[in-house]
Structure 1
Amino acid sequence: MAGRSMQAARCPTDELSLTNCAVVHEKDFQSGQHVVVRTSPNHRYTFTLRTHPSVVPGSIAFSLPQRKWAGLSIGQEIEVSLYTFDKAKQCIGTMTIEIDFLQKKSIDSNPYDTDKMAAEFIQQFNNQAFSVGQQLVFSFNEKLFGLLVKDIEAMDPSILKGEPATGKRQKIEVGLVVGNSQVAFEKAENSSLNLIGKAKTKENRQSIINPDWNFEKMGIGGLDKEFSDIFRRAFASRVFPPWISLSGLDLLASFLFL
């Protein structure tokens, strides 16, 4: 689909501003689609869409963090085109996110469990586009946090072919959150946020299923060849989302974030 000119608008509701989605009228796009927004020839930003009847057809609405990230102003003319993810290369394996309290007045010393945060994040933002440098607001335990995406690494699809994992961490700029994506939180510099749990860093949030399972290292090398493919294939469905085949890759004040 060729790009079309649309006008940037303000997100219509507080609830929608917390979805991290751009908002359009259903006459223009469907909810769940992804688009690339071009603000200039060299600046493009990827968003997932939701629809709302109050958005004027021909407009696309953004929250304040989204407008800040993309450098958008209300009424600005932008080019919008549909975007399709390559799910063999752009599913997010791990994502590092900087986190802090959204408001100074909401600062407290309570411990925040990053494992629960990560699970809630995946639930809230499943099948959504994320980019390095993206800013957003995250609601957790009735408190709002400001997030900044620091790093994204793609899942390694090689194990789906019955091959050893490459061991390489392929960094990507834009990716799609799926049910098996892993999220690691790190508090912003000088933040007093008290993070606990295992999802504080990527290094501490490794999958309990190791794609590089090696029986030889366990002292039973004779079984390595026979079992490695079995284990790799058996666990592939747990490491990757179900749409990948084993046979291949076939409420605060609105001004805060509206």
Structure 2
Amino acid sequence: MTEQIYKILYIEDNPVDIRFFQEIARELKSIQLDLKVANSLAEARDTIKASKLDLIVSDLGLPDSMGLYTVKQIISEFPELPVIVMTSINDEQLGIQAIRMGAQDYLPKGNFDSGLLSRAIKYSVERNSHVYRMNCLEKDKFITLLENIPLGAAFFYKDLNRVESNSEFNRSADLSDITDIEQDLNPEFTNLLSSALSGQEEQVEAGTMITQKAQFQSPARLIPVKDSKGKACGAICIIDMKKSGKPLIDLNA
């Protein structure tokens, strides 16, 4: 029976942990690993872009990224790739938090065997493939819905790492190109957005900066969007375009 080969990137800067992982990988019986190693998040980004991978296994303490921020960055930039995080033996809660953020599984560093690693890899790849396909379908439906709104509209996800916007909203400033919403949003607009995410509808005045590159030309509303449990899962921004044909002004034009 031919063994399944998984192309994996292991993000880790500790040589001892790297050797341990490589030793466990060699003991795998039902699968084989085509393993690459990156010592930092920056190096991992370059490797991911240059390689065809099936899975990412990442430590949470890297030279250029610490804790759950590492998980957030990887998942937001490469949502098609499943992620397994490595946690310290006594930090199960951190692993659970990582899963809530989108990681598929977690393993205690230096305290797992080949059987556990094999199951984690196969489960993570299969589950992420299904979730990613479903998310793509839902995203397509959502974008179609936004495009059919006869106003400038954008949906900001609760964690602020993603935004979906229609062509009217993007006429002058394409927010879909923003790689890190928290870094690019203007503080004044972020405060209004945070209030909306807490459940309070907010009015955005004309002239309010949304990023350093663009500002609202017309007034807008930030409306909380709640899930089935009544909790805010995001906020939709609707621009009143009755007074202007351009939803945003490009300050670099």
- Report the TM-score, using the length of structure 2 for normalisation: 0.29
- Report the TM-score, using the length of structure 1 for normalisation: 0.29
Which is richer in strand?
A: 1
Instruction: Determine which structure has more spread, i.e. the larger CA radius of gyration.
Output: 2
